[in-house]
Structure formats: structure tokens, C-alpha cells
Amino acid sequence: MKLRSLLPGAVLVLLFFSSALISYIWTPFDVTLIDIKSRFLAPDATHWLGTDHFGRDMLSMLMVGARTSIAVAFVAVGIGMLFGVPLGLAAAAHRGKFLDEAIMRGNDLVFAFPALLIAIMITAVYGPGALNAIIAIGIFNIPVFARLSRGAALSLWKRDFILAARAAGKGITRISFEHILPNITNLLIVQGTIQFSLGILAEAGLSFVGLGAQPPIPSWGRMLADSQTLIYTEPQLALFPGLAILLTVLGLNLLGDGLRDWLDPRLRRER
């Protein structure tokens, strides 16, 4: 069994997803409650990870922060897939024709801009906030999925079963969705997890510079930014959100790797 990376990845991801889900119904403390008197408390039985500079419970902040990160990354990857995959499939179906060229050069154009820079521009123009961060990160996922789908679809179009489908009179749109798409789903899932981790990083980066989710919504990036000047005196305030970002991204990458190995038919045959 080649599950060395799949299992720890899945455990880490599950941990963060479940804490984000739990935060919807319960957190140890209210994260909008500011209590200056009980700030900088060390971790103990009441506050498992201590309290921050406003006396808010760190564990609760991290849980709700996970929700913010995951929501932003999830929708952003969703946008990327929703637009990117059909574009890629269409380009592959019209291989070499004008549509293909137009789609792929458009992709190159988006790819050519540094993603985070454009995200900063979008939030600077339309104002900071989680929604604009989602849109910004989402736009940059579109070409990733478009390229991936096109590449994978191109090799499928040469296969005999597609030829058979064509001979049976199916149109290219139908073939794309009924035969091509199911055969590239594995690839998309694997790429999805990788993009998901990049989305979490991008959200943290935007929040760090103040362009992501706005207070009082907790976010890991802003927790890090808030702890900057306190790093010498209260290092745990930077440590915990830093670890949360690190472990989530690590988990998603391991999961992606593991899924690729697990879903790859050739590797599966070897098992």
C-alpha cells in the first residue's frame, strides 16, 4: 500500500476541515468578544492556546480563521474549475482552430501576471474584503484548470473509444462531457487540492497585508500581521497561526500527492 502521504495528508486536512465545520456551531469562546483584561494569557485549561492581544481565545480564533481560509480557497478553486474546465475542454475539442488559440492565449495573458499582485490590485480598486479576495484568487485558478483539462483531453481525443463515439454520431460537446470529463476527473481532483493549498496561502497573504477578510472576522493572515510587533514578547501569538497555515498547506499537498498515486491506474495496477 502506497499510502505514506495520503494518510497523514488526509488526517491533517480532516482536522482543519472539521474544526472549521465545528466552529459554525460551537467555539470555546466568542471571537468577537474583546476583553482587554485577560489578554496575553498563557495556554491553560480554559484557554488551550492562550489569548491574543485583545484577550480573545486563540483556539476559537484559529477555528473561525480556518473557516475563512477554507471558504475563500474553496470558492476560489470552484470558480477556477467552473470556468477553467469547460474552456479547456472546448479548446481541446477545437484543437488548432481559432477558438483554441483564443482561449489558450487568453490563458497565457492571465498567467503572465503575478497572481498576488493582481489580487492586490483588485482589492485596492474594489476595496478589501473576503469576497474580492475570492474573486481575485478564483480568476487565477481559471487558466490552471483550462490548461490541465486541455492537455489531458487532447490525448483522449486520439483514443479509439472517442472515435467510436464520434462514429456513433455524438457531437463534440456531448463527447467532451460524457467521455472526456469523467476520464480527467482524477487529474482535476489532484490539481484541485494543490490549488486549494495555494488558495489558502494567497488568502493568508492578502489578509496579512490587510486586503483579505476584514475585522472582526478572524483570519490566519491577519492574526500573523497583528502579532508582528509582539513577536519578541509573545511569540506564541505568531506561532499558532503560522503553524495552522503550515500544517494545512502541508496536509493539502500530501493529500494531493497521495491522491495522485492512489488514483493513477498504472500505479494502482502495481499495487
Partner 1 sequence: MKKIQLSRAIFLALFVAGSAQAAKTDVTIGMQLEPPNLDPTGGAAAAIDEVVYANVYEGLTRFGPDGSVRPALAKTWEISADGMTYTFSLQEGVAFHNGSSFDADDVKFSIDRAMAEDSTNAQKQLFANIESVENVDGDVVIKLKAADGNLLFNLAWGDAVIVAPEAVENLATAPVGTGPFQFKNWVQGDQVVLEKNPDYWGEPVKLDMATFKFISEPTAAFAAMMAGDLDAFPNYPAPENLAQLEADPRFSVVLGSTEGETILSTNNKQAPLDNVLVRQAIAHAIDRTAIIDGAMYGYGTPIGTHFAPHNPAYVDLTANSNYDPEKSKALLKAAGLPDGFTTTLKLPPPAYARRGGEIIASQLRAVGINVEVSNLEWAQWIEQVFKGKDFGLTIVSHTEPMDIGIYAKPDYYFQYDNAALQAMMKSFNEETDTDKRTGILQEAQQIISADYVNGYLFQLAKTGVASSKLKGLWQNSPTQANDLTGVYWED
C-beta closer to partner 1: residue 31 or 77: 31
Render the chain in DSSP notation, one character per residue.
---TTHHHHHHHHHHHHHHHHHHHH--SS-TT---GGGTTPPS-SSSTT-B-TTS-BHHHHHHHHHHHHHHHHHHHHHHHHHHHHHHHHHHHHTTTSHHHHHHHHHHHHHHHS-HHHHHHHHHHHH-SSHHHHHHHHHHHHHHHHHHHHHHHHHHHHTSHHHHHHHHTT--HHHHIIIIIHHHHHHHHHHHHHHHHHHHHHHHHHHHHTT-SSPTTS--HHHHHHHTGGGTTT-THHHHHHHHHHHHHHHHHHHHHHHHHHHH-HHHHHH-
Least spacing, CB of residue 154 vs partner 1, in Å: 46
Least spacing, CB of residue 226 vs partner 1, in Å: 8
The residue count of the chain comes to 271
Distance CA 151, CA 264 (A): 16
C-beta closer to partner 1: residue 102 or 209: 209
C-beta closer to partner 1: residue 77 or 119: 119
Least spacing, CB of residue 30 vs partner 1, in Å: 10
208, amino acid identity? F
Contact at 8 Å (CB) between 50 and 29?
no
C-beta closer to partner 1: residue 91 or 213: 213
Least spacing, CB of residue 125 vs partner 1, in Å: 12
C-beta closer to partner 1: residue 128 or 143: 128
Distance CA 149, CA 16 (A): 29
> And the C-alpha cell for 9?
495528508
Least spacing, CB of residue 58 vs partner 1, in Å: 16
C-beta closer to partner 1: residue 194 or 225: 225
Least spacing, CB of residue 234 vs partner 1, in Å: 9
C-beta closer to partner 1: residue 38 or 186: 38
Least spacing, CB of residue 244 vs partner 1, in Å: 21
Binding site for partner 1 (CB under 8 A): 32-34, 36, 39, 53-55, 127-128, 210, 214-216, 228-233
